[in-house]
């Protein structure tokens, strides 16, 4: 089969909707949001390399006979909200790993007082609690494919204990609709802990330098006092109150400019990775995922419909 229209749905990925409805289905094809020009990215960016991995000639999608009929009739594949996947921790896996690694990578407290470390950690946490990647602001929908067209574990998992089919798809033209051109991601999953750590280490390093420097300028007393002393020497005609105001006004301007940039860049990288980092026990699946993000503040909200997650006898 040459490609397929992707739909976003709550529930399973059978390709069919049945009555009575139980889970909302979001009808949409692609979410187009221009990201940073890929030419401006460093060639050694492991996240960029992952999300632009060459697409194999054929990728396979397993389903049962009813799902197969739905796909053929509608020429669509339903993608599943990650909140309804069998492994309910998948959505949080990358976030938990990233938070743990951030704490490990922060310099020791003798170099950075607790307040500085706390500011850096809280800013990172805010990405997931109130920012773009907060579950209230973001839903991720994924359609799953695999490199293996005939694998026993896949038959057992997706044929529902009865007859099933393995569909081969040619996605050779799909890259023009995906990252880094849009926020849609089509890439292989990552299973090995060393590979995950390498990706997240790059991402956190990218975030840590500007945010740590900004936090030090605001909350590290030796850094603040040294900067104020240098300003007083450079501008002896100003009193301490004036120097303080100039310094902290400059910090505020830096915060307004540098913090959103750093948070925005790391949020985009995390957005691409969140649904791709899987537990190593699933490595044999060699899964590729087509991941479609839907943001709560989208100007055009996708149409909501419903379908049952489980079929009645």
Q: Is-contact 206 266, C-beta < 8 A?
A: yes
- Residue 132: CB atoms within 10 A of its CB come to 18
pTM of the model: 0.77
pLDDT in tens, 214-264: 888 888 888 888 999 999 999 999 998 999 999 999 989 988 888 888 888
d(CA 192, CA 279): 8
Contacts of 2 (CB under 8 A, 6+ apart): 169, 170
Q: What are the structure tokens assigned to 291, written together?
A: 């991941």
Could you read off the pLDDT of 88-133 as tens digits, one per residue? 666 678 888 888 898 888 876 555 577 888 888 888 888 888 888 8
Dihedral over Cα of 11, 17, 22, 28: its sign: positive
Tokens linked to 247: 């310094």
Cβ neighbours of residue 24 closer than 8 Å, sequence gap 6 or more: 10, 304, 305, 306
Choose among 142, 164, 135, 141: nearest CA to 66.
164
Find the helix packing angle between 90-105 and 114-129, rounded to 10°.
160
- 3 state SS of 291: strand
CB 138 within 8 A of CB 293: yes
pLDDT in tens, 134-185: 888 888 889 999 999 998 888 888 877 668 899 999 998 888 888 777 889 9
On whether the CB atoms of residues 61 and 157 are closer than 8 A, the answer is no
DSSP assignment, residue 191? Answer: -
Phi and psi at residue 189, in whole multiples of 5°? -75, 155
pLDDT of residue 107: 72
């Amino acid at each position: 089969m040459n490609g397929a229209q992707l739909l976003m749905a709550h529930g399973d990925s059978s390709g069919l909707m049945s009555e009575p409805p139980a889970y909302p289905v979001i009808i949409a094809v692609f979410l187009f949001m221009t990201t940073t020009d890929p030419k401006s990215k460093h060639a050694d960016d492991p996240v960029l390399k992952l999300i632009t991995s060459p697409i194999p000639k054929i990728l396979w999608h397993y389903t049962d006979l009813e799902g197969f009929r739905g796909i053929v009739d509608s020429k669509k594949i339903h993608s599943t909200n990650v909140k309804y996947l069998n492994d309910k921790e998948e959505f949080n896996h990358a976030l938990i790993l990233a938070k743990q690694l951030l704490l490990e990578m922060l310099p020791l407290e003798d170099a950075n007082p607790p307040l500085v470390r706390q500011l850096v950690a809280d800013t990172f946490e805010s990405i997931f609690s109130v920012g773009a990647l907060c579950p209230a602001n973001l839903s991720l929908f994924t359609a799953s494919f695999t490199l293996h067209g005939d694998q026993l574990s896949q038959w057992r998992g997706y044929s529902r204990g009865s007859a099933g089919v393995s569909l081969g798809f040619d996605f050779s033209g799909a890259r023009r609709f995906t990252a880094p051109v849009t926020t849609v991601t089509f890439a292989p999953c990552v299973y090995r802990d060393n590979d995950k750590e390498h990706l997240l280490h790059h991402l956190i390093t990218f975030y840590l330098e500007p945010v740590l420097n900004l936090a030090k300028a605001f909350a590290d007393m030796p850094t603040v006092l040294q900067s104020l002393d240098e300003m007083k020497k450079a501008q002896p005609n100003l009193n301490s109150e004036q120097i303080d105001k100039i310094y902290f006004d400059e910090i505020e301007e830096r915060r307004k400019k540098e913090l959103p940039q750093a948070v925005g860049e790391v949020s985009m990288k995390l957005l691409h990775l969140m649904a791709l980092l899987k537990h190593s026990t699933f490595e044999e699946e060699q899964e590729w995922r087509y991941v479609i993000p839907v943001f709560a503040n989208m100007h055009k909200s996708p149409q909501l419909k419903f379908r049952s997650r489980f079929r009645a006898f």
